[in-house]
Amino acid sequence: MPDLSVRLGPLRLEHPVINASGTMELFELVEVLGSSVIDDPPVAAYVPKTVTLERRAGNPAPRILETTGGMINAIGLPGPGLRAFIERELPRLLALSCPVIISIGGFSRREYTALAGGLKEALDRSAGGDWTGRVGLEVNISCPNVCSGCASIGGDPGETAEVVAAVRALWPGLLVAKLTPNVTDITAIGRAAAASGADALAAVNTFKGLVIDRETLKPYLGNVTGGLSGPAIKPLALRTVYELFAAVDVPIIGMGGVATVQDVVDFISCGATAVAVGSATFREPCLARALSEGLGRFLDGRGLALGGLRGTAHTRE
């Protein structure tokens, strides 16, 4: 196997394939796959579901539906809130053998700083020594399924810059800004985030969409609109990574429709340093590891190093 390790700021990943936030509950998988899934996680870094400051119930059902080549969801960031996350989740996350990238979502700049500050304080207290090589932060400024905040921040370069700068001022570790594709020019948002101190960009979150209930002819989802994901969005997501790679110098975590080794190869070719698997983990929980192994075989077969693949789509021969 070639060396597949990559760096995202201070984090070292054994290989470039991780999970997308909100698509893998690693600790629930133990019931189905046994404790090996914790001892040897199928992802190079684990990204838990976005954490919010307060407890949230999430959106009314139905929340999901399969669509052509993918699915639509309006989950709505349900969760127990920061305090319960710190008490119940953080200890077992710190015990994992792979790095963790904690995703936070807020409705105002103050909420993002409260989340980042609360996590830093908890880590300083409980992680023992320098934890910045083990824990990173992803600011989700791109969830399309909550009625205010989040995506409206990520839709505006000025607000993006403010939130990222405010979190940067108090967060010493890896800082990732997760972008929404539901904007006219994603490079403007990506540049604002990078200039304000983001160490990396995650691209992209889901595409805002809608499905009609074929019986009632009304919107099907409880939240009316939802976010489209899966192979159907891959060319759209690839385009965002391609554009961002040309626009910023920070590493990019590419995602959107990754389901096969070729998808991983395509995202890295467009400039991604790491690749996240989202909806496709729903049919195969250990897909990320299988794809990284497949990537190794691909590179072997082509006689390429991982670094030699990155960004190749941008060079003309």
Partner 1 sequence: MTSRPDRGSSAGRRRTVTGGPGPGLTGLSRSLGRVTAVRFLGSMVGLTVTVPGWRGAVPGQFALLQAEPSRCFLARALSVSDEAGEKVSFLIAPVGDGTRELCALRGGDRVWVLGPLGKGFDVDALVTGPERVVIVAGGAGVAPFPLLLSRLLVKYQAVSVGGTGGGRRTPVAGGPKVLVLLGFRDGAQSGCALPVQQAVSEMEEKGLRCRLEMAFEDGSRGPVEKATDLLDRHLRSGDRVAVCGPGAMAAAVWKVCRAVPDVETWFSLETNMACGVGSCHGCVLKLADGSDARVCHDGPVFAGKEVFGA
Q: Please identify every residue annotated as catalytic.
A: 143
Residue 70 in contact with ligand FAD, rule: CB under 6 A: no
Q: Which of 35, 129, 215, 283 binds ligand FAD (CB under 6 A)?
A: 215
Q: Which of 32, 158, 214, 301 binds ligand FAD (CB under 6 A)?
A: 214
Angle at 91 between CA 89 and CA 97, to 5 degrees: 105
Select from 111-119, 169-177, 212-220, 271-279 the region that touches ligand FAD (CB under 6 A). Answer: 212-220
Q: Which of 220, 242, 245, 298 binds ligand FAD (CB under 6 A)?
A: 220
Tokens of 34: 């046994």
Select from 4-12, 183-191, 274-282, 293-301 the region that touches ligand FMN (CB under 6 A). Answer: 274-282
Which residues are paired to 72 by β-bridges?
65, 228
Dihedral sign of CA atoms 189, 277, 206, 144 in order: negative
CB atoms within 10 A of CB 50: 26
Residue 52 in contact with partner 1, rule: CB under 8 A: no
For 298, the enclosing helix (H) or strand (E) is helix 287-302
Residue 251 in contact with ligand FMN, rule: CB under 6 A: no
* Smallest distance, partner 1 to C-beta of residue 67, A: 8
How many binding residues for ligand FAD (CB under 6 A)? 7
Residue 229 in contact with ligand FMN, rule: CB under 6 A: yes
Please say whether the beta carbons of 28 and 48 come within 8 A: no
How far apart CA 103 and CA 23 sit, in angstroms, is 12
Residue 13 in contact with ligand FMN, rule: CB under 6 A: no
How far apart CA 47 and CA 204 sit, in angstroms, is 14
How far apart CA 90 and CA 162 sit, in angstroms, is 27
For 152, the enclosing helix (H) or strand (E) is helix 151-154
Residue 180 in contact with ligand FMN, rule: CB under 6 A: no
Give 214 or 316: the residue with its C-beta nearer to ligand FAD: 214
Give 40 or 54: the residue with its C-beta nearer to partner 1: 40
Tokens of 56: 């949230």
Q: Which amino acid type is present at position 262?
A: Q
Q: Which of 157, 257, 271, 311 binds ligand FMN (CB under 6 A)?
A: 257
How far apart CA 258 and CA 280 sit, in angstroms, is 7
Residue 144 in contact with ligand FMN, rule: CB under 6 A: no
Name the residues that contact partner 1, by CB under 8 A.
1, 4, 14-15, 22-25, 28-29, 31-33, 40, 42, 49, 57-58, 60-67, 69-71, 73, 75, 78, 230-231, 259-262, 265, 279-287, 289-294, 296-298, 300-301
